């Protein structure tokens, strides 16, 4: 019952762990290069959720100076994650650009087929 009463409490961290492992598994197990990038994104998003959760304080509001509010959430992790999101977007864009070029060069985006072709080269 603690998990429910303390919402968001530990629940967020369970989601983080679940997303992290899901993303990581997709990156490792998928042969399709686009799906690998999707997995990477899920993996990164789990870290974003992790940071945002740790900044949250129970009963805290947005950190704006206003009458009647005394408890603020910590804005710093949220700001950090803005930076990390930018880095993530850049990485995704670059990764997808590589996939386009790889498809032009190899005619496929399946990792096992590409590896077979590379071994012949």
Partner 1 sequence: MAALVSSHLPALQVVLALLAAPVCLLLRRPNASWAVATAITWTLLAVSIALLERVLQSGTIIYALGGWPAPWGIEYRIDLANAFMLVIVTVIGSAVMPYARASVEAEIPVERIYLFYCMYLLNLAGLLGIAITGDVFNLFVFLEISSLSSYVMISLGRERSALTAAYRYLIMGTIGATFYIIGVGMMYMVSGSLNMADLASLLPDVGGSRTVMVALAFITVGLGLKLALVPLHMWLPNAYTHAPSVVSVFLAGTGTKIAVYAMMRIIFTVYGGMGVFDDFGLGEMLMALGIIAMIGASAVAIYQDNAKRLLAYSSLAQIGYIVLGISMASVFGLAAGIVHLFNHALIKAGLFMALGCIFLRIGSVKIEDMKGLGKAMPVTMAAFVAGGFGLIGVPLTAGFISKWYLLQAAIEKGWWLAIIALLISSLLAIIYVWRVVEAAYFQDRDKKAPAVSEAPVSMLVPMWVLIGASIYFGINATMTMDVAIGAAEALIGGIQ
- Which positions lie near partner 1, rule CB under 8 A? 24, 27, 33, 36, 40, 43-44, 47, 50-51, 54, 77, 80, 83-84, 87, 90-91, 94-95, 98-99, 101-102, 105-106, 114, 118, 121
The 10 Å Cβ neighbour count of residue 112 is 10
**Closer residue to partner 1 in complex, CB, 5/83:** 83
Helix axes 75-106, 111-120, angle to 10 degrees: 50
Q: Which residue pairs, CB below 8 angstroms and at least 24 apart, start in 105-110?
A: 109/32, 109/33, 109/34, 110/31, 110/32, 110/33
The smaller minimum CB distance to partner 1, of residues 62 and 116, is found at 116
For partner 1, the closer CB: 3 or 94: 94
Structure tokens at 97: 């650009």
CB of 108 to partner 1, least distance (A): 11
Q: How far is the CB of 87 from partner 1 (least distance, A)?
A: 5
Q: What's the min distance (Å) between Cβ of 63 and partner 1?
A: 14
Other Cβ atoms closer than 10 A to 95: 15
Which CB atom, from 11 or from 87, has the smaller least distance to partner 1? 87
Peptide linkage before 8 cis (omega within 30 of 0)? yes
In whole angstroms, the minimum distance from the beta carbon of 24 to partner 1 comes to 8
């Amino acid at each position: 019952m603690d998990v429910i009463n303390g919402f968001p409490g530990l629940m967020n961290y369970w989601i983080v762990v679940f997303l992290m492992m899901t993303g990581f598994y997709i990156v490792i197990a998928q042969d399709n290069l686009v799906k690998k990038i999707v997995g990477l994104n899920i993996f990164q998003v789990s870290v974003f959720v992790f940071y945002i959760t740790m900044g949250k304080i129970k009963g805290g509001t947005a950190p704006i100076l206003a009458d009647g509010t005394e408890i603020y959430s910590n804005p710093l992790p949220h700001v950090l994650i803005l930076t990390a999101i930018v880095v993530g977007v850049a990485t995704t864009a670059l990764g997808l650009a590589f996939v386009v070029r790889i498809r032009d060069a190899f005619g496929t985006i399946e990792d096992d087929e590409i590896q077979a072709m590379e071994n012949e080269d």
